Structure 1
Amino acid sequence: MEPLTAPNPVKFSKALGMNFKAANSNGKIWFFVEEGADFEVVDDSDQIIHGKYLCPWLPCSIMVSAVYAKCTRGERVALWDKMREISVNTEGMPWVIGGDFNTILSTRDRAGSDTNRQTEMIDFAEAIEDCRLLDPGYDGSDFTWAKNGLFERLDRVLVNEPWARIFEAVTATNLPRVASDHCPVLVRCKLPSTHSGGSPIRFQNMWIRHDSFSDLVQEDWGKPTEAQGLLNLQIKLARIKKTLKKWNKEVFGNIHTNLRDFEEKIVKAQADFEERPSPENRMGINKLIAEYICLLRMEEDFWRQKTTLRWLTEGDKNTRFYQS
């Protein structure tokens, strides 16, 4: 929260139905969490409060930073330096940072004024790049602040790479402005669906021999994700994995069983041709044989790949054997 009054934990905890956990040094940033969760302050300053959020529904603790930046470029230098410091300390841990940065990142984030803010945008962009943060994108209004005909996107949420690996999707929604000149930003994160049992998908070389493989991949990869950057790539990879798993089961099933089934079909087709040697029966045999040969090549690909993987797995043991 970014309040305009002194912290009043009891009053606002009842109103929000959440527990008050912390406020920053000047009381302008407050933290509330739901029942069962906790927030431990790690770093506190007048423009940012940073800490560890613990929740039993998450696979691990996550780092959260809330920002309420100063209004002038010179005062914000301390914020950018603090962000860089936090990024080093949170290396490898999922981290989300968001709030009122009181500056824009590009000219598209402003309407209603032609004032040159290039140097401020560069400062902000360099801080984001140094911290290796990603913008998950947003929906809703293009601007989060409005006053006297000036519109700007001053509020935003950024995540790091480990965060993008923990959550399957991150969506920021700029809600309507009601009681403030700033609009609230709602951030929703989706955990990947848990799957018990089974093994991770492994690309099968035999797939590329199937006529529909290329179109399947192209169609699935081209679907939008409502995300950007590395998060967009992560979502696409997770989605194509599910698609290929389902397609492999439906189209290939058990390739060895399919081969036996085709052998029986060919034997029956040849018997039908011997009883009635018509062009239609001959064409049926040729079609079955062509499909059977294609399956044989796929099976060869399967065994060749399986042998290679086994060699890679046992390669170190094999090397030690020959060395001895």
Structure 2
Amino acid sequence: MEPLTTPDPVRFSKAVGLSFIGSNTSGKIWLFAEEGSTFDIDWDSEQIFHGRLKSHRIASPLAISAVYAKCTRSERYLLWDKMREIAGTLEGIPWIIGGDFNTILSHRDRTGSDTNRQAEMVDFAEAIEDCRLVDPGFDGTEFTWAKNGLFERLDRVLVNEAWTRVFEATRVTNLPRIASDHGPVLARCKMPNISIGEKAFRFQNMWIRHEGFFAVVKNAWEEPTGAGGLLNIQIKHSRVKRALKEWNKEVFGNIHVNLADKEEAIAVAQSNFEDLPTPVNRAVINKHIAEYILLLRMEEDFWRQKTALKWLAEGDKNTRFYQS
């Protein structure tokens, strides 16, 4: 982002719901990331802030470059050369680069002036070609900068081929200009439907029967976010979801495996009681049986929910059946 304001990372971190990572040497490029992510800075200069992002959402690091180019053609030579240098070090790593390049790429990127900027466009085009970058296209407003009747697309996002292999789609949206002569550019990336990553979250009704369930939810929900309003609720929901997924994996476990283990435990307890019929051994059997009944109810919840989801998924077919 290009703040053009007195640095106040805490304020903006709360506003966007992300952790402040750092800024470039001039303080004109700021970087925020999701909590739990890390960003290793590889290059820091006035025109480009480059590094590698690591997140639990993706298996491998992503190379990310934020640009705030100089206004003159000669000063941008350093930027084009640095882009080429970065491209040569990535070796197949997914790379996205975006920001204010302070120049246009074609005549379609400008209206309101007849000034010849052919040489600048060639410089930019050659840098993009040398770096093997592609423009994923955009929607929203056609121009990202405006002043005194002059409109230009100075801000854009570019990706390399490796990026297109990791993400199924990259959607770039030019947002409206509100508090600046530049409009924000939003890039959203979609992971493939079938990926080597974590499965989509689905709440399991059987969880509420576990004695530790409400404590997990309560602890995650009450953790401060530093944000307010709807953003505060969104962050809390995300934390609860993450906590439940970890709890399900580490504590709750697989309900079918748990049942099998409990059946084995009951068999062992009954065998021990037959060898030594004491009140203590009888109590052990009763305890295992009570836990087994609870697990059975959980398994019933699991199959009931699964059946309901399947019924909803086949809703059109079911409706047609009853109508006929």
Residue 67 of structure 1 and its aligned partner are, at CA, apart by 0.1
Q: Aligned AA for 1:112?
A: G
The secondary structure found in structure 1 opposite 2:120 is: helix
Residue 61 of structure 1 and its aligned partner are, at CA, apart by 1.0
Structure 2: which 5+ runs fail to align?
Answer: 197-324
Q: Aligned AA for 2:135?
A: D
Question: Aligned pair count?
Answer: 196
| Contact 1:22 1:41 survives alignment (8 Å) | no
> Following the alignment from structure 1 to structure 2, what is the Cα–Cα distance between the partners of residues 9 and 175?
22
Residue 3 of structure 1 and its aligned partner are, at CA, apart by 1.1
> Following the alignment from structure 1 to structure 2, what is the Cα–Cα distance between the partners of residues 190 and 105?
26
Q: Match for residue 86 of structure 2?
A: 86
- Pairing 1:36–2:42 present: no
Q: Deviations over 1:103-135 (max 9, x none)?
A: 000000000000000000000000000000010
Q: Match for residue 62 of structure 1?
A: 62
Q: Match for residue 12 of structure 1?
A: 12
> Following the alignment from structure 1 to structure 2, what is the Cα–Cα distance between the partners of residues 123 and 116?
14
Residue 195 of structure 1 and its aligned partner are, at CA, apart by 6.3
> Following the alignment from structure 1 to structure 2, what is the Cα–Cα distance between the partners of residues 159 and 180?
26
Residue 10 of structure 1 and its aligned partner are, at CA, apart by 1.7
Q: Match for residue 136 of structure 1?
A: 136
Residue 140 of structure 1 and its aligned partner are, at CA, apart by 0.8
Q: Structure 1 residues 195, 88: closer, same or farther in 2, change over 3 A?
A: closer
Q: Aligned AA for 2:34?
A: E
The secondary structure found in structure 1 opposite 2:142 is: coil
Residue 68 of structure 1 and its aligned partner are, at CA, apart by 0.2
- Pairing 1:183–2:168 present: no
> Following the alignment from structure 2 to structure 1, what is the Cα–Cα distance between the partners of residues 10 and 186?
23
Q: Match for residue 126 of structure 2?
A: 126
Residue 162 of structure 1 and its aligned partner are, at CA, apart by 0.4
Q: Deviations over 1:62-102 (max 9, x none)?
A: 00000000000010000000000000011210000000000
Q: Structure 1 residues 24, 195: closer, same or farther in 2, change over 3 A?
A: closer
Residue 58 of structure 1 and its aligned partner are, at CA, apart by 1.2
Q: Aligned AA for 2:72?
A: T
Q: Match for residue 108 of structure 1?
A: 108
> Following the alignment from structure 2 to structure 1, what is the Cα–Cα distance between the partners of residues 158 and 16?
24
The secondary structure found in structure 1 opposite 2:80 is: helix
| Contact 1:51 1:65 survives alignment (8 Å) | yes
Q: Deviations over 1:126-183 (max 9, x none)?
A: 0000000010000011100011000000000000000010000011000111111111
> Following the alignment from structure 1 to structure 2, what is the Cα–Cα distance between the partners of residues 132 and 15?
35
The secondary structure found in structure 2 opposite 1:36 is: coil
Please list every run of at least 4 consecutive aligned residues from structure 1 whose deviation after the TM superposition is greater than 6 angstroms. none
Q: Sequence identity, in percent?
A: 67
TM-score normalised over the length of structure 2: 0.59
Q: Deviations over 1:275-296 (max 9, x none)?
A: xxxxxxxxxxxxxxxxxxxxxx
> Following the alignment from structure 2 to structure 1, what is the Cα–Cα distance between the partners of residues 91 and 121?
25
Q: Deviations over 1:25-47 (max 9, x none)?
A: 11110000111212111111110
TM-score normalised over the length of structure 1: 0.59
Residue 11 of structure 1 and its aligned partner are, at CA, apart by 2.0
> Following the alignment from structure 1 to structure 2, what is the Cα–Cα distance between the partners of residues 195 and 45?
36
The secondary structure found in structure 2 opposite 1:32 is: strand
Q: Match for residue 309 of structure 1?
A: none
Please tell me the root mean square deviation across aligned C-alpha atoms, in Å.
1.1
Q: Structure 1 residues 56, 195: closer, same or farther in 2, change over 3 A?
A: closer
The secondary structure found in structure 1 opposite 2:12 is: helix
Residue 18 of structure 1 and its aligned partner are, at CA, apart by 1.1
Structure 1: which 5+ runs fail to align?
Answer: 197-324
Residue 6 of structure 1 and its aligned partner are, at CA, apart by 4.0
Q: Deviations over 1:170-228 (max 9, x none)?
A: 110001111111111110100101269xxxxxxxxxxxxxxxxxxxxxxxxxxxxxxxx
Q: Aligned AA for 2:98?
A: G
Q: Match for residue 97 of structure 1?
A: 97
